[in-house]
A and B are shown apart, each in its own frame.
Chain A
Amino acid sequence: MIDIFWLIPLVPALSTLILAVFGEKLPKKYISFQACGAVFISFLISLYSFLGLLKVSPEEYPIVKNLFTWIHSGNFQANLSFQFDPLTAVMALVVTAVGFLIHVYSIGYMAEDRSYSRFFTLMNLFTFSMLVLVMASNLVLMFVGWEGVGFCSYMLIGFWFEKHSAANAGKKAFIVNRIGDAGFLIGMLFILVYVGSTEFSNINNAVAGGSLSHGLVTLIAILLFVGATGKSAQIPLYVWLPDAMEGPTPVSALIHAATMVTAGVYMVARMNIFYTTSETAGSVVAIIGAVTAVYAGTMALTQNDIKRVLAYSTISQIGYMFIGCGVGAYAAGIFHLYTHAFFKSLLFLAAGSVMHALSGELDMRKMGGLKKYLPYTYPTFLIGAIAIAGVPFLSGFFSKDAILTSAFAQGQYFVWILGILGAVLTAFYMFRLIFLTFHGKERIEPEVKKHIHESPPVMTVPLAVLAFFSVIAGYIGLPVVLGKNVNWFDRFLAPIMHKGHEAHLTIGTEWLLILISVIVALTGIFIAYFFYLKKPSVPHTLVRRFPFLYRLLYNKYYIDEAYDYLFVRPTLKGSEFVYDKFDINIIDGAVNGAASGTGFFGKVLSFLQTGFIKDYALVFLLGAVILLGLLIF
């Protein structure tokens, strides 16, 4: 019953084709129905295949379906082939389930947009690309999906391209991603040269069999991780994600929170043998992840744009996933990816609902006291915030705790401390967001206040469903303190994850770590409560006391400016110089020179043409005499 899994990506592909060709002529109702229906069918097939997978014994992983040979050139062969194993199953379910809810939500959110069909075409295309990415059975096909989601991301960030900032944000995302892709591509070529195949099973066998030297494994692992930092917005390539918030909110939820940005995590988990084999590479991943988690968290502290806070929080949370992958707890990393997909898309969609209510207002300074106006959005938003903050019994707690416990167990104390620090920041900025938006006194502009309204059911129902999953999603991965075999998620993924050296903590230590996580989360929430509800003057005092620190954070460490000076401007200057000097003078000079040279010689030679028959006859005679002379002598 599992062998229909290869249909999962093809249903959205078909829908994309239909919408791309006929979309403009179809009625909105039908477009919504088809776009959502396609993703829903994909979801059902994923679910069906997943249930089938449970019956398959782990020795048979992964199940591969080879559709046809795509490229065959010399020794190199790439197939259009999909595979299904626990990791793919989790990803496919997340992509289609969250994707479906966001598609439904978009019906309401985009209802007034005049490019309705373009939006849904791109959303379906994105779903298709993402499914190709997670289901590909070789690196080449995965790269196709990888680029496909990058392209959709570009198109959807710049969806309102009349807006200059949106068009620029799209370009920025695309170019920054391209830098990461270069690393990925080089890593892939190394694998191609030294392994001779890009099929995951062959790569795994080659690395496990030790046919690659240790240095080479590290090099490839780092190069692939460069690709991951681009796609998953980690230091130093995270700069595109906050700007990507220029896109419509459902896009931010689907692409820039729940699915595409986690592609890097998926890739690292898929290539886990590299990061298990090379501890250096694993540590690099963990440290980059940990530093990003804290660094992005600090930037989220001072932002006033509701979506940007969520964007930085996404960067920070993906940092956690990389901590998990870096310390060898791939299942924990993927577990966090899975829970994060629910609560982060919930937060984004709820933020979208707030924007919807306030006629597009994004600035939290112009909100406040919205609790009573938005009776459905508020509780769901609150659930998302509690889940992400790591309060016990909600999904975010289990996954974050699994990651931090693994980091501690592996002796990566530095990473663990950063993780704990990040957790305080997360709890703080999420509740700052809640308090500024929904509590306190109203700072809404009077004009906006007249139109304030709760969103239609087509938007609030997906919120409720996501909130439900944000609460319960964690219960498939309970911590080990509650029993030896309660972490079903870990066991499900275990057959395809390559274990490094195992490290066990005593039950007491485990409980202590959990206690620390809980205290940390509650502390963050309490500080936020104290700062923004109890004594709203405190933040202002702090700003006045540490103006330098505030400005540094508010301006995001001036990284955008630094990149601008270091990379963007020199490139532009260089291009201008080359255009001015080389292009105009040398390239154009050569072309124009050839033309004018020909003209000049023509002019010189044309003096020979007098037009008088006598002259021609004379030359003719001369020629005849010379020929005759040559013949005779």
Chain B
Amino acid sequence: MIPIYYFLILSAVLFVMGTVGFLIKKDLITQFMCVEVMLNAANVAFIAFARSASSLNGQIIVFFIITVAAAEAAVGLAIILLVYRQKKSIKTEDSSLMKG
């Protein structure tokens, strides 16, 4: 059996990739995909723990996360589309209305 820390390392690597990607990328679609990566990193960790603990709880939470991710994708893409219509750009630095 593959030891659990392999999965955890994979999860950590994916999460850091997602975070760093979110922070350094400048267009919304990419950042959005980075968020998906982070969510799936969490999924991997949950599955691994569920498997090693022989409990279904972790798997159920994963289902919830996938559902939330799907909903998020729908809403997020719609927002991005609207931002594009308004600004003709999906670069984050072009939409800074919250600047004080």
**Contact between A611 and B97 (Cβ–Cβ < 8 Å)?**
yes
> Which B-chain residue is minimally distant from A609 (CB atoms)?
B100
User: Is A613 part of the contact surface with B, judged by Cβ < 8 Å?
Assistant: yes
Write out the residue numbers on chain B whose beta carbons fall within 8 Å of the beta carbon of A609.
98-100
Interface residues in A343-360 by Cβ distance below 8 A to B read: none
Instruction: State which size class the interface on B falls in.
Output: 10 to 19
Q: Are B92 and A614 in contact (CB under 8 A)?
A: yes
B96 touches A610 (CB 8 A): yes
Q: Are B23 and A614 in contact (CB under 8 A)?
A: yes
Which residues B5-36 have CB closer than 8 A to chain A?
Answer: 19, 22-23, 31
B63 shortest CB reach to chain A, Å: 24
B88 to chain A, nearest CB (A): 18
Closest chain A CB from B2 CB (angstroms):
26
Residue ID in chain B nearest A613 by CB atoms: B92
B19 touches A612 (CB 8 A): no
Which chain A residues border B98 with CB–CB below 8 Å? Answer: 609-611
Q: Which residues of A contact B95 (CB under 8 A)?
A: 611
Instruction: For chain A, residues 574 to 633, give those with C-beta under 8 angstroms from any C-beta of chain B.
Output: 605-614, 617-618, 621
For residue A608, which residues in chain B have a CB less than 8 angstroms away from its CB? 100
* A618→B93 CA distance, assembly (Å): 15
Q: B99 to A613, Cβ gap below 8 A? A: no
Q: How many residues of A contact B (CB 8 A)?
A: 13
Q: Closest B-chain residue to A616, C-beta based?
A: B98
A606–B96 alpha-carbon span in the complex (Å) = 13
Cα separation A112 to B96 with both chains bound (whole Å): 76
Known: A605-B100, A607-B100. A612 touches B22 (CB 8 A): no
Q: What is the CB-to-nearest-CB distance from A166 to chain B, in angstroms, rounded to a whole number?
A: 61
| CB <8 Å contact, A617 and B23 | yes
CB contact list, A361-415 vs B, under 8 A: none
Contact A612:B93 (CB < 8 A) given known A617-B22, A618-B23, A621-B19: yes
B24 closest partner in A (C-beta): A614
With the chains together, A614 CA to B100 CA distance in Å?
A: 16
- Which residue of the partner chain A has the closest CB to B28? A613
**CA distance in complex: A611, B97 (Å):** 6
Q: Which of B19, B31, B100 contacts A613 (CB 8 A)?
A: B31
Rounded to whole angstroms, the CA-CA distance of A610 and B19 in the bound complex is 20
Task: List residues of chain B with CB within 8 A of the CB of A610.
Answer: 96, 98-99
Which chain A residue shows the least CB distance to B99? Answer: A611
CA distance A621 to B92 in the complex (A): 18
- Mark B72-98 against chain A: 1 for CB-CB distance below 8 A, else 0: 000000000000000000001101111
Min Cβ gap B30→A in Å is: 12
In the complex, residue of chain B having the shortest beta-carbon distance to the beta carbon of A602: B100
| Cα distance, A614 to B99, chains bound together (Å) | 13
List, in ascending order, chain A residues with CB within 8 A of B93's CB.
612
- Chain B residues lying within 8 Å of A614, measured Cβ to Cβ, are 23, 92
Report the bound CA distance from A609 to B97 in whole Å: 10
Q: Min CB distance, A398 to chain B, in Å?
A: 92
8 shortest interchain CB distances as A-B pairs: A606-B100, A611-B96, A611-B99, A609-B100, A611-B98, A613-B92, A609-B98, A612-B96
CB<8 Å pairs between A and B, sample of 14: A605-B100, A606-B100, A607-B100, A609-B98, A610-B96, A611-B95, A611-B96, A611-B99, A612-B93, A612-B96, A614-B23, A614-B92, A617-B23, A618-B23
| Apart from the given pairs A612-B92, A621-B19, 17 other A-B contacts in the complex at a CB distance below 8 Å | A606-B100, A609-B98, A609-B99, A609-B100, A610-B99, A611-B95, A611-B96, A611-B99, A611-B100, A612-B93, A612-B96, A613-B31, A613-B92, A614-B23, A614-B92, A617-B23, A618-B23
